[in-house]
Amino acid sequence: MEFRVRAATREDCRDISRMIRELAVYEKMPDGMKISHEELERDGFSQNPFFHCLVAEVPPQHRTKEGYTLVGYALYFYTYSTWEGRSLYMEDFYVMPEFRGKGIGKALISNVARIGKEHQCVRLNFSVLSWNTPAINFYLNKGAQDLTTSDGWHCFRFDREALDKLAEEAVKQ
Amino acid sequence: MEFRVRAATREDCRDISRMIRELAVYEKMPDGMKISHEELERDGFSQNPFFHCLVAEVPPQHRTKEGYTLVGYALYFYTYSTWEGRSLYMEDFYVMPEFRGKGIGKALISNVARIGKEHQCVRLNFSVLSWNTPAINFYLNKGAQDLTTSDGWHCFRFDREALDKLAEEAVKQ
């Protein structure tokens, strides 16, 4: 199937927002997304953006029954490894179910890697849910390592409330 | 003990580099650090820096026997959650062993949280090795969640060689 991968624009944020919700449903957390497409527009498409995004687009004749032509996305940002230097983190990577198995995912992720290399990045990090076997196999097959299994790295987070409390301690000092 | 937490400057990169190596030794990967302090200077202290860093400094009378007055650091960067928006990731967090238990770590991490809140961030993510019980207890005690244990999130990575290979696939398309 014909498709192209291109950098997302501000006008794509409604579609990206829709696919973020679809991915959340797949990840069994359908109410996960709390932000609107306006926040994506502000945070990704103004000066010093917080993220970058590639989208996969099919021609009109292949659009979905709802009329969508954007059928996948990869959202990433630049990070840093104090051991190896410039790095990337891929926050989201998604292809709509009916468009899988056509090389769209491969095109998205390999273009994230290409852009990273162009910016002298030496690592691409991301997180995967342990029950998501199809995704894990896809990544392992492309040469990724599971650092939780191999080295015991655990993902930790201070969420909104805990972060508020932590920040208050700084103010008190 | 008297100390202060402040934003790192370019001149601190030799000290930060020393502490990155000390942390690598503690993490049982003494040869982990492959970059030099010059790369830290370039990547953290030019336009569009890849990271930000706070350092903890003691007055000269409390310097170490080697003469160091920088005794801890927290290195972080801005990231993005497609569910909740602006976020932070703390890549490294370290206090020299002889300066632990004096509130320096608490001051460093709470100031990272404060700066994050000032930039409207709603999450602070980081990774911890599963055998590092003192660190895990410190974080859990401050309200952090272990997302690997609770939700099954695993940390994955494409390293240099795998990333090169992935990027080549994009060029071929």
Residue that the structure tokens 């999450």 belong to? B123
Residues of B labelled catalytic: 139
Q: Using CB atoms, pick whichever of B107, B143, B158 lies closest to residue A173.
A: B107
List alpha helices for chain B, DSSP H.
Answer: 13-26, 37-44, 104-118, 133-141, 147-151, 160-172
CA–CA min distance A170, chain B (Å): 5
The partner residues of A129 in beta bridges, in order of sequence, read B153
Chain B residues with beta carbon closer than 8 angstroms to that of A106: 169
pLDDT in tens, B18-38: 999 999 999 899 999 999 999
Q: What is the pLDDT of residue A171?
A: 79
CA–CA min distance A115, chain B (Å): 8
Q: What is the pLDDT of residue B171?
A: 79
Q: Is the pLDDT reported for residue B173 higher than 90?
A: no
Q: What is the pLDDT of residue A75?
A: 98
Name the CA dihedral angle for B69, B98, B89, B155, rounded to a multiple of 10 degrees. 140
Chain B residues with beta carbon closer than 8 angstroms to that of A83: 20, 24, 32-35
What gap in Å lies between CA A126 and CA A79, rounded to an integer? Answer: 11
3-state SS, residue B159: coil
pLDDT in tens, B53-85: 999 999 999 999 999 999 999 999 999 999 999
- Which of B19, B34, B82 should one mutate to test binding to chain A, selecting the residue with the greatest count of A CBs within 10 A? B82
What gap in Å lies between CA B111 and CA A28, rounded to an integer? Answer: 34
Q: Using CB atoms, pick whichever of B83, B86, B167 lies closest to residue A110.
A: B167
Chain A residues with beta carbon closer than 8 angstroms to that of B146: 154-156
Classify A4-147 by CATH class. Answer: alpha beta
pLDDT (mean) for A58-78:
97
Q: Which two tokens stand for residue A53?
A: 């995004």
Q: What is the pLDDT of residue B152?
A: 97
pLDDT in tens, A13-60: 999 999 999 999 998 999 999 999 999 999 999 988 999 999 999 999
Q: What percent of chain B has pLDDT over 70?
A: 99
pLDDT in tens, B137-161: 999 999 999 999 999 999 999 999 9
Counting one residue from A and one from B, how many pairs have CB atoms under 8 Å apart?
Answer: 262
The whole-angstrom distance between residue A11's C-alpha and the CA centroid of its chain comes to 18
CA–CA min distance B102, chain A (Å): 13
Q: What share of chain A is helix, strand, coil (3-state, %, to 5)?
A: 40, 30, 30
Query: By the CB < 8 Å criterion, does B85 face chain A?
Result: yes
What gap in Å lies between CA A51 and CA A111, rounded to an integer? Answer: 15
CA–CA min distance A15, chain B (Å): 13
pLDDT in tens, A135-165: 999 999 999 999 999 999 999 999 999 999 9
Chain B residues with beta carbon closer than 8 angstroms to that of A53: none
Boundaries of every domain in chain A: 4-147
CA of A17: which chain B residue's CA is closest? B82
CA of B173: which chain A residue's CA is closest? A107
| Among B residues 102-141, those touching chain A with beta carbons less than 8 Å apart | 106-107, 109-111, 113-114, 116-117, 121-131, 136, 139
